């Protein structure tokens, strides 16, 4: 409770008399008391409206969550990195984030815990839900040619830098010479077309948009280069919630595992649900390369990824995966 009190104090100090306190907080503050369930738990989940989170919506549609007394309230945060403070401050019960962000948070002293796998790469070169693209007329043929080049990434000092460096390194190039530029996904097409960047790492639906508009072509599949069957992202919660309400967390993880399995087995259902929570049209959804959704987090891939992040200087020391992962 102490953290909430401090938050209230500071925010009211900030607003002089008009502290808007906690009551205006997240829509469902999650009845995380461990008391007897008085009806389905109102659970708030912070997400980004992207392909990767399709299983959660499928699980909701298929009733996997309802079956476990969980009613989801999805909240589209402005960006992955912003979800972590939301979950840590208790405003959101669960969040979705890439594993490097989770490791960085743990290193930064944020007490959070992964509860279920998010999504993995397809594991096959030449066909993945994200790739390193260069302008069509660029003379770059493979990742090694990107030495000294500027590469667009949606978030700096994060997972995309690690995997792109992995692609360059595996291809025999020196990754330290690559210069990264922050460009939101929707603006990568314009950046490539305008020649502002030499390459851009884009995920779906932008990978398909850039390719079908003949603005760019893929030269490397960095998720696959980083580690075999790489776990890209995971659902997580705050250590406090995991401690206070293990039952809810367990139920959420089970529902999530069932949803992931269902999504993996029903790609068409995934393509059908995309237009309901994102603005991806049916036609575009049909063309996308989907990630894979194995129910279990691929811990080995996280260790390999973390080791490369340490090598690149992104992480000062290897993360404590036992504490971080379920």
Partner 1 sequence: MTKLPGWQGLQRVALVLGLPAVLVVVWWFASADSDHLVFRPLSEILVAFRETWLGPRLVEDVLPSLSRLARGYAASVVLGVGLGVLVGWSRTLRALLEPVLELLRAIPPPALIPLIGLFAGLGDSRRIVIIIAGCVWPILLNTVEGVRAVDEVLADTCRSYRVRGLTRLRQLVLRSASPQIMTGARQALAIGIILMVISELRGTVHGIGFSVEQFQTSFRYPEMWSGVLLLGLLGVALALLFRLADSWILGWYHGLRASNRER
Partner 2 sequence: MALSLRPLWLGVAGLVGFGALLELVPRLGVVDDRFLPPTSRILSVLAEQAGAGPLWSAVGNTVLTWAIGLALAVAAAVVLGVVIGSVRFLRAATASTIEFLRPIPSVAWIPAALVLYGPVRAGTLLIVVYAAFWQMLVQVLHGVADVDPVARDTAYSYRLGRWARVRWLTWPTALPYAVTGLRLAATVALILTVTGELFIGGPGLGAEILRASAGGAVPLTYALVLVTGLLGVAANLLFRLVERRALAWHPAVRGEVPA
Binding residues for partner 2 (CB under 8 A)? 7, 10-11, 14-18, 20, 22, 24-27, 44, 46, 48-50, 75-79, 82-83, 85-89, 91-92, 184-186, 189-190, 193, 205-206, 209, 213, 278-281, 284
Residue 42 touches which of partner 1, partner 2, none (Cβ within 5-8 Å per kind) = none
CB of 181 to partner 2, least distance (A): 18
Question: 30 or 175, CB closer to partner 2?
Answer: 30
How many CB atoms are located within 10 Å of the residue 270 CB?
22
DSSP string, 52-90: GGHHHHHHHHHTTTGGGTEEEEEEE-S-HHHHHHHHHTT
Tell whether residue 148 is a contact of partner 1 (CB under 8 A): no
Q: Using CB under 8 A, which of the segments 2-10, 205-213, 229-237, 291-299 binds partner 1?
A: 2-10
Query: What part of residues 174-193 is at the interface with partner 1 (CB under 8 A)?
Result: 180-184, 186-187, 190-191
CB of 278 to partner 2, least distance (A): 4
Residue closest to 302 by CA, chosen among 201, 236, 238, 234: 234
- Whole-angstrom distance, CA of residue 159 vs CA of residue 97: 10
Q: Using CB under 8 A, which of the segments 66-74, 104-112, 210-218, 273-281 binds partner 1?
A: 104-112
- Whole-angstrom distance, CA of residue 165 vs CA of residue 157: 12
- Residue that the structure tokens 């990754």 belong to: 175
With beta carbons less than 8 A apart as the criterion, state whether 170 and 177 touch: no
User: 193: part of which helix (H) or strand (E)?
Assistant: helix 188-193
Residue 75 touches which of partner 2, partner 1, none (Cβ within 5-8 Å per kind) = partner 2
Query: What part of residues 237-256 is at the interface with partner 1 (CB under 8 A)?
Result: none
Buried b (16+ CB within 10 A) or exposed e, 45-78: bbbbebbbbbbbbbbbbbebbeebebebebbebe
Q: Which residues bind partner 1 (CB under 8 A)?
A: 3, 6, 9-10, 13, 79, 81, 104-105, 107-110, 155-157, 180-184, 186-187, 190-191, 194, 196-197
């Amino acid at each position: 409770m102490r953290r909430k009190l401090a938050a209230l104090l500071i925010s009211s100090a900030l607003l002089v008399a008009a502290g808007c306190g906690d009551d205006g907080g997240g829509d469902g503050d999650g009845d995380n008391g461990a008391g007897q369930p008085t009806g389905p738990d109102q659970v708030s989940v912070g997400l980004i409206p992207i392909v990767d989170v399709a299983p959660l919506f499928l699980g909701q549609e298929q009733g996997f969550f309802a079956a476990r007394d969980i009613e989801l309230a999805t909240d589209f945060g402005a960006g992955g990195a912003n979800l972590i403070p939301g979950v840590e401050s208790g405003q959101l019960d669960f969040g979705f984030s890439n594993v490097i962000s989770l490791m960085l948070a743990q290193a930064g002293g944020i007490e959070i815990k992964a509860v279920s796998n998010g999504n993995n790469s397809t594991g096959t070169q030449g066909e993945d839900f994200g790739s390193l693209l260069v302008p069509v007329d660029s003379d770059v043929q493979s990742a090694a040619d990107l030495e000294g080049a500027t590469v667009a990434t949606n978030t700096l000092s994060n997972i995309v830098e690690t995997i792109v460096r992995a692609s360059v390194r595996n291809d025999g190039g020196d990754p330290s010479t690559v210069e990264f530029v922050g460009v939101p996904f929707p603006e990568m097409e314009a950046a490539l077309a305008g020649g502002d960047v030499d390459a851009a790492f884009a995920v779906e639906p932008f990978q398909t948009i850039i390719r079908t508009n003949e603005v760019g072509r893929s030269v490397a599949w960095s998720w696959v280069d980083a580690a075999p069957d790489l776990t890209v992202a995971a659902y997580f919660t705050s250590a406090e919630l995991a401690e206070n309400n293990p039952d809810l967390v367990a139920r959420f993880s089970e529902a999530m595992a069932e949803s992931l399995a269902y999504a993996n087995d029903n790609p068409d259902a995934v393509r059908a649900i995309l237009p309901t929570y994102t603005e991806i049209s049916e036609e575009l959804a049909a063309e996308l390369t989907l990630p894979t959704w194995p129910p279990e987090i691929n811990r080995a891939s996280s260790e390999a990824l973390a080791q490369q992040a340490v090598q690149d200087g992104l992480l000062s020391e290897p993360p404590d995966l036992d504490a971080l992962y379920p």
